[in-house]
Amino acid sequence: MAPQTSLKEYVPAAHHQIMETVRKMALSGAVAMVLLALLLGPTPGTNALTSPVCETSGGSGLTSDCTNVGFFLKSLGDTGCGNTNGAASKCTNMKTVGTCTAAICGDVASQPCSVVADYVNTLSTNCASSVDGNSRSGGFQVMNENGGLKVEIFS
Helix or strand run (H / E) with residue 18: helix 7-40
Is residue 43's pLDDT more than 50? Answer: no
Q: How far apart are CA 78 and CA 74, in angstroms?
A: 9
CB distance 75 to 46 below 8 Å: no
Verdict on whether the full-model pTM lies above 0.75: no
Q: What is the pLDDT, as a whole number, of residue 48?
A: 52
Instruction: Compute the average pLDDT of residues 66-77.
Output: 97
| CA-closest candidate to residue 95, choices 71, 112, 78, 77 | 71
* Per-residue pLDDT tens over the stretch 86-104: 888 999 999 999 999 999 9
Q: What is the pLDDT, as a whole number, of residue 12?
A: 56
* Per-residue pLDDT tens over the stretch 122-144: 999 999 999 999 999 999 999 99
Lowest-pLDDT choice from 22-26, 56-60, 126-130: 22-26
19-37: b (≥16 Cβ within 10 Å) or e: eeeeeeeeeeeeeeeeeee
